[in-house]
Amino acid sequence: MFIARAAWRLLVGSVILLAAVPALAEWAINMPRGVTPISHEIYDLHMTIFSICVAIGALVFGVMFFSIWKHRKSRGAKADNFHESQTVEIIWTVIPFLILIGMAFPATKTLIKMEDMSDIEMTVKITGYQWMWHYDYLEDGVSFYSRLDANSNKTRQLDSGLNPGDVPDYLLNVDKPLVLPVGVKIRLLTTAADVIHSWWVPQLGVKKDAIPGFINEFWTQIEQPGVYRGVCAELCGKDHGFMPVVVKAVNQDEYQAWLQSQRDVTPKTASL
Partner 1 sequence: MSTTAAALHDHHEPQLTGIKRWLLTTNHKDIGTLYLWFSFIMFLLGGGMALIIRAELFQPGLQIVDPQFFNSMTTMHALVMIFGGVMPAFVGLANWMIPMMIGAPDMALPRMNNWSFWILPFAFAMLISTLFMRGGAPAAGWTMYAPLVLQTGDAFPFMIFSIHLLGISSVMGAINIIATVLNMRAPGMSLMRMPLFVWTWLITAYLLIAVIPVLAGAVTMLLTDKFFGTSFFNPAGGGDPVLFQHIFWFFGHPEVYILILPAFGVMSQIIPTFARKPLFGYASMVYASASIAFLSFIVWAHHMFTVGMPLAGELFFMFSTMLIAIPTGVKVFNWVATMWRGAMTFETPMLFAIAFVVLFTIGGFSGLMLAITPADFQYHDSYFVVAHFHYVLVPGAIFALIAAVYFWLPKWTGHMYSEALGKWHFWLSAVSLNVTFFPMHFVGLAGMQRRVPDYALQFADFNAISSVGAFIFGTSQLLFLYLVIKCIRGGPQASARVWEGAHGLEWTVPSPAPAHTFNTVPDSEVIRRETLA
Partner 2 sequence: MQVKNHSERTVIKLIVVVLAMFGFGYALVPLYDVICDVTGLNGKTGRISEAESAEQVADINRTIKIQFVASVNAGAPWDFYPNEYEMEVRPGGVYYTTFKAVNKTSHSLVGQAVPSLAPREAALYFNKTECFCFTQQSFTPNESRDMPVRFIVDRDLPVNIDSLVLSYTFFNITPDNQKS
- Candidates 64-72, 175-183, 219-227, 251-259: pick the segment binding partner 1 (CB under 8 A): 64-72
Distance CA 250, CA 224 (A): 8
In 3D space, the residue among 214, 206, 212, 215 whose CA is nearest the CA of residue 233 turns out to be 206
Min separation Cβ 136 and partner 2, Å = 8
Enclosing H/E stretch for 130: none
Q: Which is nearer to partner 1, 93 or 269 (CB)?
A: 93
Quick note: the x/- pattern for partner 1 over 12-51, rule CB under 8 A, is: xx--xx---------xxxxxx-----x--xx--xx--xx-
Q: How many residues bind partner 1 (CB under 8 A)?
A: 104
List the single partner that 96 binds among partner 1, partner 2, none, CB under 5 to 8 Å by kind. Answer: partner 1
Q: Which does 45 bind (CB under 5 to 8 A by kind): partner 2, partner 1, none?
A: partner 1
108 touches which of partner 1, partner 2, none (CB within 5 to 8 A by kind)? Answer: partner 1
- Of positions 58, 120, 150, 235, contacts partner 1 by CB under 8 A: 235
Which one of partner 2, partner 1, none is in contact with 35 (Cβ closer than 5 to 8 A by kind)? none
Q: Is the distance from CB of 124 to CB of 137 less than 8 angstroms?
A: yes
> For residue 103, what is the enclosing H or E element?
helix 86-114
Exposure of 261 by Cβ count < 10 A (0-12 exposed, 13-18 middle, 19+ buried)?
exposed
Q: Which of 182, 196, 227, 259 binds partner 1 (CB under 8 A)?
A: 196
Q: Binding to partner 1 by residue 232, rule CB under 8 A?
A: yes
User: Do 31 and 202 form a contact (C-beta atoms < 8 A)?
Assistant: yes
Cα-Cα-Cα-Cα torsion 86, 87, 92, 98, nearest 10 degrees, comes to 120
Residue closer to partner 1 by CB (options 129, 255) is 129
The site for partner 2 (CB under 8 A) is made up of: 115-120, 123, 125, 127, 129-130, 136, 138-139, 141, 187, 189, 191, 193-194, 212-217, 268-272
User: By CB under 8 A, is residue 170 in contact with partner 1?
Assistant: yes
Contact region with partner 1 (CB under 8 A), list: 74-82, 118-126, 176-184, 262-270: 74-82
Residue 229 contacts residue 240 (beta carbons within 8 Å): no
Site for partner 1 in 100-129 (CB under 8 A): 100, 103-104, 107-108, 110-112, 114-115
CA distances from 57 to 98, 172, 229 (A): 17, 36, 34
CB 16 within 8 A of CB 24: yes
- Pick between residue 179 and residue 188 the one whose CB is nearest to partner 2: 188
Any idea of the CA torsion for 170, 176, 180, 182, to the nearest 10 degrees? Answer: 50
